[in-house]
Amino acid sequence: MSKAGLVLLDCWVSPFCMRVKIALNEKGLQYEARPEDLFGGKSDLLLNSNPIYKKVPVFLHDGKPLCESSIIVAYIDETWSSPPLLPSCSYARAQARFWADYIDKKVVFDACGNIWRSKGEVPVEAKTEFIEILKQLEGALGDKEYFNGDTFGFVDIVAIPLTCWFFALEKIGGFSVAAECPKFSSWMKRCLQRESVAKVMPDPEKVYEFVLMFRKMQGID
């Protein structure tokens, strides 16, 4: 597939953009990532392609825009079938969608946000909630290599990008994911060994610097 037809409106620190990039890498597709300057003003292409939310990622396939990262990943899976990211059995597919949705509802907004946006010391409840959510995910993972079993897929792609923010959360919150959730931590390491993931995920130290800078911009620190 030539680069011309696949364009991603991108931001290096966004886990949602990373999801799309990992899915494209898994499918072996070449694409053009166009960085958006989120502080200096969004491009007209972004504003016109995502008039409802006006945010990245936007994926353009032959000029046709798609928005919302999980929906884009599902689209990529349905458009380029090999290797499959969602299971072939409809019940397993529903379960994968359930956990992807859980991650979006719980990890992204409630859990991570309550830690990195906290003023002063992070409340114990916020840390406890975060760990409890990871433990639910550990339960869904069970003794499997990946969420769907032996093969890396949809739920892994939805979840793994969020973990590049964990170093920042651990520094701000004063806790250790590896100590609290060893199984989840092993899964993280396994995913990070994949080339499709490794070449997309930013250095956690740089994410931490970004979070500190962003906290200052927002008047939190």
What is the contact surface with a copy of itself in residues (CB under 8 A)? 52, 61, 64, 66-68, 71-72, 74-75, 78-79, 90-91, 93-94, 97-98, 101-102, 136
Terminal CA-to-CA distance of the chain, rounded, Å? 46
Q: Strands 58-61 and 6-10, how do they pair?
A: antiparallel
CB 185 within 8 A of CB 138: no
For the bound state, the minimum distance from the C-beta of residue 215 to a copy of itself, rounded and expressed in Å, comes to 26
Structure tokens at 75: 């689209």
For the bound state, the minimum distance from the C-beta of residue 75 to a copy of itself, rounded and expressed in Å, comes to 4
Nearer to a copy of itself by C-beta: 17 or 197?
Answer: 17
Nearer to a copy of itself by C-beta: 30 or 79?
Answer: 79
Nearer to a copy of itself by C-beta: 51 or 123?
Answer: 51
Local structure of 61: helix, strand or coil? strand
Burial (Cβ within 10 Å: 0-12, 13-18, ≥19) of residue 78: exposed
Structure tokens at 195: 């080339």
For the bound state, the minimum distance from the C-beta of residue 68 to a copy of itself, rounded and expressed in Å, comes to 6
Show Cβ contacts of residue 63 under 8 Å, excluding neighbours closer than 6 positions. Answer: none
For the bound state, the minimum distance from the C-beta of residue 208 to a copy of itself, rounded and expressed in Å, comes to 29
Nearer to a copy of itself by C-beta: 23 or 122?
Answer: 23
Amino acid at 26: E
For the bound state, the minimum distance from the C-beta of residue 91 to a copy of itself, rounded and expressed in Å, comes to 6
Nearer to a copy of itself by C-beta: 133 or 168?
Answer: 133
